[in-house]
Amino acid sequence: MAVRIVSAVAVLWLVAACRQSGSEGPAPAAGATRGELPLKYAAQPTSAGITEGNLMSRLYVFADDSMQGRAAGTIGNVKGTDYIAAQARQIGLRPSGDGGTYFQTIPLVRRQFDASLAAAVDGAPLTPWRDFAIRDQGPGAPADVHATAVYGGTLGRDSSALIAPDRTVGKVVVFTAAPPDQWPGAFSRAGVTSRYAGAAALMVTRLDDIPQGLLDVFKTGSSLTLKPDVPASSSVAAVPAYLYVTTAVATRIFHGSPDALSIGATGGMVTLRASVEDRPTPYPARNVIGILPGSDPTLAGEFVVIGAHNDHIGMIDHPVDHDSVLVFNRIARREGVEGPPDSITPAIAAAYAAARDSVRRLRSPRPDSVNNGADDDGTGSVALLEIAQALAAAHPRPKRSILFIWHTGEELGTLGSDWFTDHPTVARDSLVTELNIDMIGRGDSADLPGGGPRYLEVIGARRLSTELGDSVESVNKRQPMPFAFNYQFDADGDPHQYYCRSDHWEYARYGIPIAFFSTGGHPDYHQITDEPQLIDYAHYARVVRYVRDLAVAVANMSHRPVVDHAKPRDPHAACVQ
């Protein structure tokens, strides 16, 4: 990252953003009741028109703290999917889930460490959950580790001073960590894991600061996947084990305090045994599926699919100051890229401290632990409801039927869309196109380079069907304010691999033409600050209207979009962009 000096104007913007982020949202409608869900706001009555007010009203409900971040397999996601199903019923969509319901339950299981969990340093055993706490990294993590330890540096400060990844292959890398109140959001487990993917295990000296209640949560496991006897569509990549350890353990490993170590210092031999067993999740993981029947008897048996994902990433391990995270993300986080910033330089540190202090002069720190997922993918989920309500009131309705599906488990690796396309509730060959929308509520110049009111990313529209790609363009030209499409992330070999990372791929693997739309990343991606107060509702509404118009155009074609490019040979092979 280039050094960024935050000007006085930028600091004022940050202060204003924090004020906005603390606002209370829309007031409940007169006489409105909360119903059975413990929601902070009752939804305003919505109309058939796709309006900013409608979108705001629904999104403030769906991304409320009471939804607890909507992680698949949790009570928060059950509340979220209950809300969607109730709205679908009110709109008049025909249920297309299991047993005449709106829900299709996927066989999600939680991986939990069994009684064999053990670790040792130079043969001397460590006590689980006292000396070390392990985090489940998923099926790709090793069950057994026997490797030499090396010191990797301090996470959360200047990442250029950390050990080079090529020096950690096959090693146990021990990191110290800057206190989270100094650098909220400065590093993430996912980011460190990605950077040091070749290591055998990663250890972070944070266990002394983790409360017992949180350790109890870790013991239950945190990785969810489809049952082992259900093949997932993608291969499992190897990842290192990830542990929190006490400072005393790090001292044992290096025969001295880690504070005095140089980068790359060699320690003792670490062994780890970490087998897991699969247990049912306490709550079901559910796709929500509803159908708007087509108006043409000859075409109504075919479906245009409009999809979004209903899940998000839940709650963080420990509460942090909301406003400090908001400030930090805008100063040191590039477009919502996960992991350590490229460099936290003295200039960035000074800019962050100045902006944080400006905010704290306005109000005291506000602890927050909920990843609300307003943009990811609250905006997509609410958009489907808006489009459904608009098309249900249209005269005439689209000729083909529209299948609305809110996938679960996208954040776990597109598990819900994987399950639906392997076990569709309608004939798979009746699906003529899938339009996927994920994160469509931001996209201005403060979020990413080149952003603005006409910004929209398009991925995959011509990978199977040139005709679908042409429709994407022609419908856009008829919009009152056409979008300036960004096709950058659709290129073969693009390092972001977005074509393989959201639900549309699960349809494309079966040769179903797809188009994926997003307004892109932003500093609040996968953060507690992804909240409805920061959505650009005017931009958002334009995207929703465009997707509606595109869906209608495809649904009213005399023929299904022609597939004129090669389909994947094996729908269960790994995706490669």
CA distances (Å), origin 504, targets 292, 405, 438: 20, 12, 10
Domain(s) labelled CATH 3.50.30.30 in the chain stretch across 115-274
* pLDDT at residue 546 greater than cutoff 70: yes
Structure-token pair, residue 223: 């990785």
* pLDDT at residue 24 greater than cutoff 70: no
* Range 324-341 average pLDDT: 69
Q: How far apart, in whole angstroms, are the C-alpha atoms of residue 426 and residue 414?
A: 19
* pLDDT at residue 9 greater than cutoff 50: no
Distance of CA 271 to the CA centre of its chain: 33
Distance of CA 50 to the CA centre of its chain: 25
pLDDT (tens digit, 9 = 90+) per residue, 40-89? Answer: 444 566 778 899 999 999 999 999 999 999 999 999 999 999 999 999 99
pLDDT (tens digit, 9 = 90+) per residue, 464-490? Answer: 999 999 999 999 999 999 999 999 999
* pLDDT at residue 26 greater than cutoff 50: no
Q: What are phi and psi of 112, to 5 degrees?
A: -130, 140
* Range 552-571 average pLDDT: 96
Domain(s) labelled CATH 3.40.630.10 in the chain stretch across 32-107+283-314+371-555
- Would you place residue 186 in the very low, low, confident or very high pLDDT band (cuts 50, 70, 90)? low
- Would you place residue 4 in the very low, low, confident or very high pLDDT band (cuts 50, 70, 90)? very low
* pLDDT at residue 227 greater than cutoff 80: no
Identify residue 433 by its one-letter amino acid code. Answer: T
Given a contact cutoff of 8 angstroms between Cβ atoms, the answer to whether 317 and 214 are in contact is yes
CATH number 3.50.30.30 given to 115-274: yes
* Range 185-207 average pLDDT: 87
pTM metric for this prediction: 0.77
∠ CA(351), CA(336), CA(414), 5° rounding? 160
Which pLDDT score, from 0 to 100, does residue 362 have?
85
Q: How far apart, in whole angstroms, are the C-alpha atoms of residue 351 and residue 341?
A: 15
Give me the CATH topology for the region 32-107+283-314+371-555.
Aminopeptidase (3.40.630)
Torsion of Cα atoms, 82 then 84 then 89 then 90, to 10°: 110
Structure-token pair, residue 293: 């029947």
**Which has the higher per-residue pLDDT, 420 or 1?**
420
